Amino acid sequence: MSCLIDHKVQVIFVSASSVNKNGKKRKIVMESCPTYALIRLRGSAECFPIGWEAIYEAAVRRHAENLRLEAEAKKARKVRKKKPTG
């Protein structure tokens, strides 16, 4: 019986959103590597490596910002409801 030492799996994500570059809308492609991810635009050779730790930290910051914005929106809705009408 043999054992596979290294997994040879490559996961590629293609986003549903697009980014405008040089007047063309292009999908964002993210290629998974063991210690980092490669981010590029579909049809472009230019790619940017980013560590998984940096992606996680960005997600944590974005989540905290979303919670803050939701709390502010909730307060604004309460203020609008309390105002007496005419």
Could you read off the pLDDT of 22-60 as tens digits, one per residue? 899 999 999 998 899 999 999 888 999 999 999 999 999
Domain ranges of the chain: 12-82
- The proportion of the chain whose per-residue pLDDT surpasses 90, expressed as a percent, equals 60
pLDDT at 48: 96
Whether residue 41 contacts residue 28, with contact meaning beta carbons closer than 8 Å, is answered with yes
Phi-psi region of 39 (alpha: psi -120 to 50; beta: other; left: phi over 0): beta
Whether residue 36 contacts residue 54, with contact meaning beta carbons closer than 8 Å, is answered with no
Is 80 exceeded by the pLDDT of residue 10?
A: no
pLDDT at 7: 59
Mean pLDDT of the chain: 87
66-71 average pLDDT score: 96
Helix ranges restricted to H, 1-86: 52-82
Give the count of alpha carbons within 13 A of 39, CB side only: 10
pLDDT bucket at 11, cuts 50 / 70 / 90: confident
The 8-class DSSP code of residue 8 comes to -
